[in-house]
Each structure stands twice: as structure tokens, then as C-alpha cells.
Structure 1
């Protein structure tokens, strides 16, 4: 299913399980530059509900939902290319995520990003904790 964003050329796709790994990693590197393993990324993308934003053939935004379909759903990340930020793409991705998720959604906001989620209708909930592991490369 696709949605058009008003006058803009942005098209939204729902539950994109066959999301191209190279397109996704290109977007990731605009937000979080680093080295990522393609096969591990492909496997991760297949385990999540992926809602994407496209400017013609360019992936410019993505929100990923990990859910058991009944008890729990979490947004693993929301990414919008820096060149496309402040155009309501992230807001629209979050709206689509909530609308199409089978469960309530939880997200751990990075420091400084809380206002974005509050403006998207999310309320402060459980405290988030982390224990980091080195990512496989």
C-alpha cells in the first residue's frame, strides 16, 4: 500500500519485508555512519515491520517495528535522511506505525529527541535501560 504526501514526491510503503539492504544501509549511514554487515542487516529487516518513505527511488525514511503481534511492540528505530528532516516525514512515519501496528508501541528515545515523540502523541512511560554489546561486523 502506498501513500502520497500532499504536494511532495514522498511515497510511503507499509510492511516492506523485502526492503533492499543497500538502500536501507545507505539511509542508516546518513544518520548513523558506521560499518554494518549486509547479511545481518538483511536478517534484521526480515524480522521487523518496515514502513518506508521514498523520494522516487531514494529511501529517505524508515520506521521499524518489532512486535509479537499481541502483547508487545517496540519501535527499533526511526530514521529520516538529514536532507529530508523537518518536512513531517518522521511524523507521518510514526502515525503510520501506530495505525498499522497490531499492538501498543514503546520506544526508547535518544537524549534530545523526546520532544519529537511527545509531539507525535507518545507519553513518557517506563524508564529505558541498556547494556550494550559490540555489534557483529
Structure 2
């Protein structure tokens, strides 16, 4: 049975990195990941003790927020987990949220009540 947590305080860098590498492989630094997790609202889905879905909100708490990522393990997709995480986001965000979507996932977000908004841009760190 999948359980959902609105601000998962037990989520740590080691667990998140193992999880994220199954969905979006990358070169995650454990120290930086731990610092990042402490700065975000972490909404999670767990199957027993296993992290199967995670949505992170970064916000100033007053005016602006963004979804940094919405990840669901491949074996758990198409079960409503991503939709439930988005629903919980509406219930627990202190601000309006702007975010980018991977190309091709727009129908998922629109099905879940998200509205198309501003075009996104990227500024790379030098």
C-alpha cells in the first residue's frame, strides 16, 4: 500500500540519490543533495519503506515557488502516484508555483489541472 507524506522529514540524501538515479541518473553530490533537501518541501510516496515517488517544492514562502522535480520509479508509473503528489502539492504549497515540464509530459500536467503559463528559460552557471 502506498503511503504519502506531505513534508517527509526522514528523506535523506543517500536515499534520495539512490531513488533519483533510478529515474533521472546524474552525478549527485551527497552533501549538496542533503543541503538541497533541507531547503525544499519534500512530498513523497512510499511503498513500505521504499521511496517510490517524490515531488520537491522550492519557495520563498510569500510570492514565488517552483517544483524542482517530480519523480516516480518506472515500475510504479501509471498508478496515480504522480497525480496524487501534484494534488498534495496544491494542498501544501504556500505560494503559486511555476515549473517547467519535460517535452511530451504536458498532457499529464494538464490532465492534473495545471495551466500552461510562461515560457521557461535557462541561465547556466559559469
Q: Which runs of 5+ in 1 are unaligned?
A: 1-8
Q: TM-score, normalised by structure 1?
A: 0.87
How many angstroms apart in 2 are the aligned matches of 1:18 and 1:47?
14
The residue number in structure 2 matching 1:107 is: 99
How many angstroms apart in 1 are the aligned matches of 2:52 and 2:58?
20
How many angstroms apart in 2 are the aligned matches of 1:70 and 1:34?
31
- Bigger drift between 85-94 and 14-23 goes to 14-23
How many angstroms apart in 2 are the aligned matches of 1:80 and 1:89?
7
Q: Once superposed, which parts of structure 1, at least 4 consecutive aligned residues long, lie more than 2 Å away?
A: 131-134
Compute the displacement of 1:93 (Å).
0.2
Compute the displacement of 1:18 (Å).
4.0
User: Are the equivalent residues in 2 in contact too, given 1:54–1:61 (CA < 8 A)?
Assistant: yes
| Residue 21 of structure 2, aligned match among 11, 29, 51 | 29
CA RMSD of aligned residues (A): 1.3
Aligned length, in residue pairs: 126
Secondary structure of residue in 2 paired with 1:116: helix
Q: Which runs of 5+ in 2 are unaligned?
A: none
Q: TM-score, normalised by structure 2?
A: 0.95
The residue number in structure 2 matching 1:11 is: 3
